[in-house]
Amino acid sequence: MKAEEIPIGSMVPLTGPSSADGKEFRNGVILAAEEINADGGILGRPIRPIFLDTGRQSAAEVVRAARTLIGEHGVHALINGYNIGPQNAEYEPVADAGIIYIHHNTLLQHHDTVMSNPERYFGCFMGDPAEYWYGQGFIKFISWLRDSGQWQPRNNRIAVISGAKPYSVVIANAMGSAARQFGWNCVFGPKVTQCPREGWHPVLDEIRALDPAVLANTEFYAGDLARFQLQFMQDPVPSLLYLQYGALHKTFTDIVGDRGKGVIVGTMIGLPRDEFGQAFSAAYKQRFGRDSTPEVGCQPYTSLHHYAIAAALAGGSGGPGAFEQNRRVSRKLLKTVYRSVSGTIRFHPKWQAAVPYPDATHDPSLGMPHIFYQVRKADQECALIAPEPYADAPFELPPWLA
Amino acid sequence: MSGGDIDQTMTRRQDYLEAGFEAIDVGIALWDDLDRLVTCNRAFLERFAPMKLDPAESITQTEFLRLLAGSGLLVTPLSRHDWLEKEHNAALSGETSEYLFNDGSSVRVERRHLGRRGRLTSFLDISGARRVEWDLERARDSAAASDQIKSRFLRAANHDLRQPLAALKILIYNCMTAKDDAEREDLLHAMDVSVSIMEDLLGALLNIGQLDAGKIEPKISTFQVSTLFDRIKVQFDHQAQEKGLDLRIVSSACALKSDRSLLERIVSNFVSNALRYTETGRVVVGCRRSDKHVRIEVWDSGCGIPKEFLDSVFEEFFRISESQAHRKHSLGLGLNICKRLAEMLGHTIAVRSEPGKGSVFSIEVPLGNIWHSDIGEPEISERIGGEFAGLLAVVLEDDVILRDALIALLERWGMQVHSIDSLENVPGSLQALEREPDLIITDYRLRGGIQGTEIVAEINDRLEKPCPAIVVTADTNPELIDTIRRQGFPVLIKPVSPPSLRVMMHNILYEPELVQELHI
């Protein structure tokens, strides 16, 4: 007799501004499910992924997706990449149903919501560290470049442009508050600046007059970052330039081409180029084509594997209403440190979020690497320049500073 | 009783004796008149098990002692030869010995002559009793040391606090009879100085007390030298200005690995001394970096220290001379505290000086790994780093339970919250705010038939600009909700869920074009 399938829901933005990522999130879940099923599923039961589009990722769209997946499909878990807009509103149907939910929203508010009522939100996990760590990690990164002599800033001034999303605001604020401790003086911002209709030139001119050695833009969307980069390069401010995660996207490279060379980009969850990362990358591209992006698809891929291990250790998964079984799965997720293709996922016992390395642990075997890339030419892979032991290339002075 | 009965009784008694002999936990060995082992019990064999004794082999007591000496089972300060000689004599004379075994146990060895039959040796484990004795000894030593510390503390306190205390008494008396405000002002200032001197002295004495009592435990972390220098600047800038000295702190960018607060105490002591012994010129604080270390240096242009005293300046109660002009301000403890703290941290401190030109005190600290830097936030939450952290919200809600819950939620998100309770005096309540609010959250129906939107309008008039505002209401009448929206306010229906409030707050504050009713 064929074993009953385990329905796993995935809320992915297949349309709208993050659809490129949404496609990769879907790929990641598909590949993980295929691998798990090929090995016999969870205690003999195969996984059946069900995808719902979250469009512009607003709270209403994501909550609707969660309710449909739970109510109509009876999913045992929700596992997906990020949805930028719901602000944890989707935690309510998840908590009401008592199922497991692992996402990569990269939001500090996850800590707050889980810690506000650990009993209710026992099933909610964030498979990557909060965006907060981007901010202070970035300040440590530029201080490391400075103190190790790899780069000599001409002054200690730093300018921070913040995107309007909570994600961007939190990162920018964290940069601003950590700067002084490391000897930096924040002369611009953190200032929330929505992608201006008239273009970035007035903001860039204002910043140029302040002569910062470092310029960071925490805008979320890859397209907005690309427009910023093109306008920046028309008359570059002589600063080290950091752009938020979106600049890792193919969309960004497609728009800016070689004019992105030298930009620093960070991610709380990426794909180290070690044995694990390379093997996954090869398998992913073989399955989804050369133009696919394993650096994005790895997010739900790792979490679905982690969930499958925890559910198997807990004696099986549980559908909506199976609170006790899912509590067992939750406990196993917390206890099981998983070395994924993205580095180590170790859930913090209170935050129920992955602990970042080196931001919150000094031990690379106990944290997910907060990776810093430097963009190279359009036809080249980004250089992974920090942290050790994952770095595979040295920092290079950006062309506009050389 | 027949002969058979007697034999039977004797045999039973023999059995009991043997069973008892085996059962007791005291090791027993019986040696015959030729010093050969006749018998021994289980406890004896277990105690000396590593020697693999075979009771059937009847070794002599001398051989037993030789084997024991070579077994490594015992811990003794004596040489093997001396120990054997001592034990051999003890065996002959029947003296008691004590063996300390390498597992930490102590055994008392007692010998009994059994006349012509030979000797009995017993081995009694006295580890428990010994431990109690040692603990008592340690407690006694500690109490004695504590007494010494207290005595020294009191002697020093008595000696050095007398002067500012005596000055203070005179100043208080003079102040009571001061002729005018100006004189009183001067005297109060002098009293303030005396009190601060006493504070410094007591602080130094307490430091020494804590060090003596072993109560200081370093907490090593990685931090930027600039954070240390910033605090030094705040601490001493004013003092330097008052004395007309130029205090220069040369900023530097590098990470240190040390105990932040203990290192600050050391550098503060250096700077405090430099300012005290410098009458003109400047004091410079800076660092020099080598491969693995950073040397923090404090330069002064003071009187300097004669060469012959350089080795002694870090000693306790050291002063160059009793007539030292500044002695009333100092116990001669500061540099000793520095030395002891530096030793505790494993850092090297040094001094070089040229009389008449000045001195340089320095401490060498290991370079830290900047990635390990401590940001000082052990628990990351929205209260510290959330998107609303630091914003000011005004709340208008009559229901005490709802109001308290809302305030608790907003504070958990890191916001400052001001609740307006008196609707009769909104301007007065707003005046109590240190700055303009970033957000207003108001119930629609407030007491006395007042509408929340009216209060928002009043606040906006006062601020002369619109403040982002959210209206909450328990009334689900679509017409009413529509009316409120038409006035330009987003509406949330009670009970308000934290996620929907969060979404609304984010949109109204950062993305106002996205403000819309959310039915979630």
Backbone torsions φ then ψ of B366, nearest 5 degrees: -65, 145
**How far apart (Å, rounded) are the C-alpha atoms in residues B451 and B480?**
12
Q: Decide if B385 contacts A114 (C-beta within 8 A).
A: no
Binary contact (B499, A111; C-beta < 8 A): no
When CB atoms are compared, the residue of A91, A108, A194 closest to B380 is A108
Asked if this assembly's ipTM is beyond 0.90, the reply is no
Q: Say if residue B378's pLDDT is above 60.
A: no
| Facing residue for B382 by CB, picked from A86, A91, A109 | A109
Chain A within 8 Å of B515 (Cβ-Cβ)? Answer: no
Q: Would you call A177 an interface residue with chain B, using a CB distance cutoff of 8 Å? A: yes
Strand partners, B282: B246
Residue B243 burial (CB < 10 Å; 0-12/13-18/19+)?
middle
CB within 8 Å: B519 and A60: yes
Nearest Cα neighbor of A26 from A85, A91, A79, A100 is A79
pLDDT per position as a tens digit, B63-79:
999 999 999 899 988 99
Q: Which of B120, B130, B123 is nearest to B107 (CA)?
A: B123
- Average pLDDT over chain B reads 84
Q: Is the pLDDT of residue B520 over 50?
A: no
Can you give the pLDDT at residue A206?
93
| Long-range Cβ pairs for the range A33-39 (8 Å, 24+) | A33/A8, A33/A304, A34/A287, A35/A305, A36/A304, A36/A305, A36/A308
Q: Is the confidence at residue A295, as pLDDT, over 70?
A: yes
How far is A357 from A367, CA to CA, in rounded Å?
Answer: 5
Partners of A183 on chain B (C-beta within 8 Å) are 224, 226, 251-253
Closest alpha carbon within chain B to A115: B381
Q: Nearest 5°: phi and psi at A121?
A: -100, 35
How large is the angle between the packed helices A109-116 and B498-510, nearest 10 degrees?
160
pLDDT at B325 (0 to 100): 45
Cα torsion B146, B148, B154, B158 to 10°: value is: -170
B409 to chain A, closest Cα gap in Å: 9
Is the pLDDT reported for residue A354 higher than 50? yes
Regarding beta strands B97-100 and B106-113, do their DSSP bridges make them parallel or antiparallel, or are they unpaired?
antiparallel
pLDDT tens track for B268-302:
889 988 998 898 999 999 999 888 899 999 999 98
Distance from CA of B392 to the nearest CA of A (A): 16
Cα B2–Cα B8–Cα B13 angle in degrees, nearest 5: 130
Please report, rounded to a whole number, the percentage of residues in chain A having pLDDT higher than 70.
99
pLDDT at B519: 42
Please tell me which residue of chain B has the smallest CA distance to A130: B380
Q: How many CA atoms lie within 13 A of B348 on its CB side?
A: 7
Question: How many residues are given for chain A?
Answer: 402
Distance from CA of B515 to the nearest CA of A (A): 12
What gap in Å lies between CA A167 and CA A220, rounded to an integer? 8
Which positions in chain A touch B226 (Cβ < 8 Å)?
Answer: 181-183
Letter string b/e over residues A88-105, b meaning 16 or more CB atoms within 10 A of that residue's CB: bbbbbbbbebbbbbbbbb
CB distance B489 to B470 below 8 Å: yes
Q: Which of B371, B376, B380 sits opposite A132 (nearest CB)?
A: B380
Range of weakest confidence among A386-395, B126-135, B324-333:
B324-333
- Among A130-134, A396-400, B115-119, whose mean pLDDT is lowest? B115-119
Residue B352 Cα distances to A216, B316, B360, B417, angstroms: 45, 19, 5, 55
Chain A hits for B292, CB-CB cut-off 8 Å, are none
Pairwise CA distance, residues B210 & B187, whole Å: 34
pLDDT at residue number B1: 60
User: B265 in helix, strand or coil?
Assistant: helix
Please report the pLDDT score of residue B511 as a whole number.
80
Contact between B386 and A112 using a beta-carbon 8 Å cutoff:
yes
pLDDT in tens, B308-337: 888 888 876 666 654 444 444 555 667 888
| Between B430 and B87, residue with greater pLDDT | B87
Please give the average per-residue pLDDT across B140-159, as a whole number: 71
CB A101 within 8 A of CB A63: no
Which tens digits make up the pLDDT trace of A319-351?
A: 999 999 999 999 999 999 999 999 999 999 999
Arithmetic mean of pLDDT, A208-226: 92
Cβ atoms B476, B496 nearer than 8 A:
no
The residue of chain B nearest to residue A147, with distances taken between CA atoms, is B254
Q: How far apart are CA A236 and CA A211, in angstroms?
A: 12
Residues of A in contact with B376 (CB under 8 A): 181
A16 touches chain B (CB under 8 A): no
Q: What is the DSSP letter of B248?
A: E
Instruction: Give me the amino acid identity at A339.
Output: R
Within B301-357, strands assigned E span 348-354
Taking only the tens place, the pLDDT of each residue in A243-263 is: 998 888 888 888 999 999 999
Task: Return the HEC string of B57-117.
Answer: HCCEHHHHHHHHHHHCCECCCCCHHHHHHHHHHHHHHCCCEEEEECCCCEEEEEEEECHHH
In chain B the first and final C-alpha atoms are separated, in Å, by 104
**In sequence order, which residues have a C-beta less than 8 Å from that of residue B80 and are 6 or more positions away?**
B69, B70
> Across-strand partners of B139?
none
Per the document, the length of chain B is 520
pLDDT in tens, B357-372: 999 999 999 999 888 8
Tell me the C-alpha to C-alpha distance, in Å, between residue A334 and each of A112, A125, A309, B104: 17, 9, 12, 42
What is residue B328's predicted lDDT score, i.e. its pLDDT?
Answer: 45
Distance CA A23, CA A15 (A): 9
pLDDT, chain A, mean: 93
Task: Characterize the bridge pairing of strands A157-162 and B27-31.
Answer: unpaired
